[in-house]
Structure 1
Amino acid sequence: MRKDTSDLIPQKYKKHFKEGRGLGEGVGYIPWIKINEFSSKGRATRIMGIKTNRIHHLHSDNQLRTFLIFEWSDKVVDIRECYPLLDLMKVIDDKKNLFMGKFTDKQTGDQLIITTSFLITLKETDGTKKYIARAVKSSPELCKKITMEKLEIERRYWEAKNIDFKVITDKELNRQLCKNIQWVREAFLDNLEVVGDMKSTSELLYFTLFNNQDIAVNEVIKGLEKRNELDRGMALYVFRYLLAIKKIKVDMTKSIDLKLIVKKLVIFPEEE
Structure 2
Amino acid sequence: MTLITIINIDELYWMHGMGRGRKLESLNDFERALKNKYGIGQGLDYKPWLRVQDVKSKGTRSLIYGRKSQREHHMMSSIESELFYLAEFSNGVTDVREQFPILPLNYTQKIAKTLGIAHPKHPQTKEPIIMTTDQLLTIDSFQGTAYHAISVKPENDSKDLRVLEKIDIERVCWELLGVKFSYFTGNDVTRIQSSNLHWATSPFRENPISFSCDQINSALSIMTARQYFLEDLCNQLISMNITSHDDALLLIRFLIADKFIDVDLSTNISESGLVDVKHVADSAGGILYGAS
Structure 2 CA distance for partners of 1:176 and 1:114, relative to 1, 3 Å: same
Report the Cα distance in structure 1 between the residues aligned to 2:123 and 2:191, rounded to whole angstroms: 39
3-state SS of 1:130 partner: strand
Picking from 49, 53, 73, the partner of 1:32 is 49
Report the Cα distance in structure 1 between the residues aligned to 2:183 and 2:191, rounded to whole angstroms: 17
Structure 2 CA distance for partners of 1:183 and 1:20, relative to 1, 3 Å: same
Query: In structure 2, what is the equivalent of residue 132 of structure 1?
Result: 148
Q: How does 1:1-272 map to 2 (within 5 A)?
A: 10-90=27-107, 95-100=113-118, 102-105=119-122, 108=125, 110-126=127-143, 128-171=144-187, 174-189=190-205, 192-193=208-209, 197-210=211-224, 218-228=231-241, 230-256=243-269, 265-270=277-282
Residue-pair matches, total: 255
How far residue 69 of structure 1 moved from its aligned partner, in angstroms, is 0.5
List per-residue Cα deviations over 1:195-218 (Å, max 9, x = no partner): xx53322222111224x9798563
Report the Cα distance in structure 2 between the residues aligned to 1:106 and 1:250, rounded to whole angstroms: 46
Moved over 6 A (4+): 212-215
8 Å contact kept, 1:77–1:123: yes
Question: TM-score, normalization: structure 2?
Answer: 0.78
Report the Cα distance in structure 2 between the residues aligned to 1:122 and 1:229, rounded to whole angstroms: 36
Report the Cα distance in structure 2 between the residues aligned to 1:105 and 1:214, rounded to whole angstroms: 53
Structure 2 CA distance for partners of 1:115 and 1:220, relative to 1, 3 Å: closer
3-state SS of 2:263 partner: coil
Gaps of 5+ in 2: 1-25, 284-292
8 Å contact kept, 1:121–1:130: yes
- Structure 1 or 2: more strand by fraction: 2
Higher mean displacement: 58-67 or 201-210: 201-210
Q: CA RMSD in A?
A: 2.7
Question: TM-score, normalization: structure 1?
Answer: 0.83
- Structure 1 or 2: more helix by fraction: 1
| Structure possessing the higher relative contact order (Cα contacts under 8 Å, 6 or more residues apart) | 2
Structure 2 CA distance for partners of 1:88 and 1:208, relative to 1, 3 Å: same
Task: Indicate the percent of aligned positions where both proteins have the same amino acid.
Answer: 25
Report the Cα distance in structure 2 between the residues aligned to 1:214 and 1:35, rounded to whole angstroms: 40
8 Å contact kept, 2:135–2:151: yes
How far residue 176 of structure 1 moved from its aligned partner, in angstroms, is 1.1
3-state SS of 1:202 partner: helix
Report the Cα distance in structure 2 between the residues aligned to 1:214 and 1:45, rounded to whole angstroms: 33
How far residue 226 of structure 1 moved from its aligned partner, in angstroms, is 3.0
Task: Determine which structure has more spread, i.e. the larger CA radius of gyration.
Answer: 1
8 Å contact kept, 1:191–1:198: no
Report the Cα distance in structure 1 between the residues aligned to 2:229 and 2:189, rounded to whole angstroms: 30
8 Å contact kept, 2:101–2:130: yes
Gaps of 5+ in 1: 1-8
3-state SS of 1:148 partner: helix
